[in-house]
Structure 1
Amino acid sequence: MFELDLDSYSEPVKLILEKINNWAAASIKMLPNFLVAVLTLIAFIIIARIVRRILTKLLDKTTSNLALQNLLIRIGYFAIIAVGLFAALGILELDKTVTSLLAGVGVIGLALGFAFQDIASNFISGVILAVRSPINIGDIIEVSGHMGTVTDTNLRVTSIKTFQGQEVFIPNSTILQDAIVNYTTYGKRRIDLAVGVSYGEDLRRVKKVVLETIDKMQNVIDPQNTIFAYTGFGGSSIDFEIKFWIDYPDHPSFLDMRSEAIMSIKEAFDNADIMIPYPIRTLDFGIKGGEKLSEMKLNLLENQDNSQREID
């Protein structure tokens, strides 16, 4: 039978036991330092939270840019935690580990920079947006075909709530590169309405009626900047545009005011006996050998008379 030679394993076993004893002794020796390192890291986390609260109160008093506030608060919070982490590693006498960690972070950061260019681009764009602040939380904006209210902005994306009730997350790089329409900046918005009147109307009288109607509407601002302009001869009407300003964003909404303007102009035209024409189409069946509509009617009447005579 095969027998194990225990003597041949005695030396390796001794080495393993010696290593285990050394590790146990080192662990017991490092236990106080480990506890101090853990307490140090916990202390820095507590300090970071206190600093975050202090920064929040200070920034609330100094700037109304919520994006910039969030950026500075997060940078301060994570910077203090990073200092605490390196201090804990120093207490554990892992200075070489800290140096290697920093070098590794640099190499990994370089590799990740190439691998995640979009994420890095969004991060940098988020910093630029926070500093320049072209948009703020609560603004009504339109970007990349999406229109709504800005609900949140961070270092990666900006979220807006559309008027249809959906939340859209737009990458910061897209916002920085695309055109942004901010409807909140100036606090007002212009409503443009296209209308048509009959060719038989007195155009000066039409202009006077429309301007008086818009001027009487509530919530219309800057009436001196209201624009009335005839735009051309349409197929069945003379077309014009009326352009006026309202507070925006505010109540009533843009859609409410546009709807109110349409109803008011229609009512004013009815009272003044001004006609808004609708397209009239004439069907001619006599083109290229066909029968004209009048001839078709006469033929139909003749057929009805003949049918009646046959019955009689």
Structure 2
Amino acid sequence: MNLDINQAIDLISNKLTVWVKELIRLLPNIVLASLILVLGLFIAKFIRRISLKLIRKVSHIETINTLFSSLVYAISVGVVFFVVLSVLNLDKAVTSILAGAGILGLALAFAFQDIAANFMSGIFLSFRRPLAVGDIVKSNDHMGIVEEVNLRDTMIRTFQGQRVIIPNKDVFQNTIENYSALHKRRLDLTVGVSYGDNLQKVKDIAIQAALKVSVRSPDDEVTLFYTEFGDSSINFNIRIWMKDTEQPTFLQGRHEAIMYIKEAFDANDIMIPFPIRTLDFGIKGGEKLSEMDVNVLNGMRK
């Protein structure tokens, strides 16, 4: 019994001796690794602060800025961690960790590909900035005011009062109409006049009426162009620039333009015709409806 205890003590003593010798041998590496770890973490924090300042110069979305700086910090810490493992001669552990991280990353990429697509689209939208909070935009058949741009989605408040949340992937991949980008907005109004009216007179009167619109931009001229020969009218397009891009201004401008043009046309005997259809009877055409009735009755009597 005493022999077994002595053997156990000797075995433990030998193991401890080996461990102490190995610790002494690795002590310089451990000290160096500790210094690298402390210094590396300090440098990583410094890099995060610098990256945050740089990203704020090109992006105004604080969520994106914080995420980017945190990502840079995580990469920096990861590099420091792998350097420390290499100094401690744990190369096999480094290889295993890298292999596991690769497999895990591939699995996560397949599992969260839609989330990743929206996330990346949010980053691209942040850098390209095709829209900003407060802009009037139309995207994916929804028109309204941008209330919020997040990493995953863009929030729009429509003019009917609904709040629409659009995934950033759909915003990024589809057409965006931004009515606020140029800080001005144009009203295009299509009107038709009778074929018997004097077109130059119509143009002059319509432009004078449009100049009375109270919310138009005084720095931009009103333009009018005839566009087509319609079924019952000659159509023209009158273009009026509004003084700002706000939706109430646009609606007020359209309201006043329609009223003033109609009043001016009525005062000058200019007709906005109703749709007219000319009906042509007979196989070859040219027959009157009354003649068609007589022919039908005669055919029935026979």
- Give the TM-score of the pair, scaled to structure 1: 0.61
Give matches, 1:50-199, under 5 Å: 66-67=60-61, 69-75=62-68, 106-199=102-195
**Conserved? CA contact 2:224–2:236, under 8 Å:** yes
Q: Which of 256, 262, 267 lines up with 1:260 in the alignment?
A: 256
CA contact (8 A) 1:188 1:247 kept: yes
Distance 2:230 2:104 in 1: 67
Measured in 1, the distance between the counterparts of 2:224 and 2:112 equals 53
Verify the 8 A CA contact 2:212 2:260 in the aligned structure 1.
Answer: no
Percent identity, please: 49
Match among 217, 228, 242 for residue 238 of structure 2? 242
Letter in 1 for 2:166: I
Distance 1:80 1:64 in 2: 19
Q: CA deviation at 1:109?
A: 2.4
Task: Kindly provide the amino acid, as one letter, of the partner of residue 255 in structure 2.
Answer: S
One-letter amino acid of the structure 1 residue matched with residue 245 of structure 2: P
Residue 13 of structure 1 is matched in structure 2 by: none
Quickly say closer, same or farther: Cα 1:114–1:251, change in 2 above 3 A: closer
Distance in 2 between the 1:292 and 1:228 partners? 40
Aligned amino acid, residue 152 of structure 1: E
In structure 1, runs of 5+ residues without a counterpart are: 1-50, 88-95, 299-312
CA, structure 1 residues 193+172, in 2 after alignment: closer, same or farther (shift >3 Å)? same
Change (3 A) 1:251 1:137: closer
After superposition, the C-alpha distances for 1:252-306 in whole angstroms (9 at most, x for unaligned) are 4322211221111001111122111112345567679xx95446999xxxxxxxx
Equivalent in the alignment of 1:233: 229
| Alignment of 1:201 onto 2:197 | yes
- Mapped to 1, the partners of 2:215 and 2:58 lie a distance apart of 28
Determine the C-alpha separation between the residues in 2 that align with 1:168 and 1:286: 56
Cα offset, 1:195, TM superposition: 0.9
1:223–1:244 Cα contact (<8 Å) kept: no
Deviation at 1:149, TM superposition (A): 1.3
Aligned residues: 231
Q: How does 1:3-82 map to 2 (within 5 A)?
A: 66-67=60-61, 69-75=62-68
- Structure 1 residues 123 and 252: alpha-carbon distance in aligned structure 2, compared to 1, 3 A threshold: closer
Unpaired runs of at least 5, structure 2: 1-47, 82-89, 295-302
Amino acid at match of 1:70: T
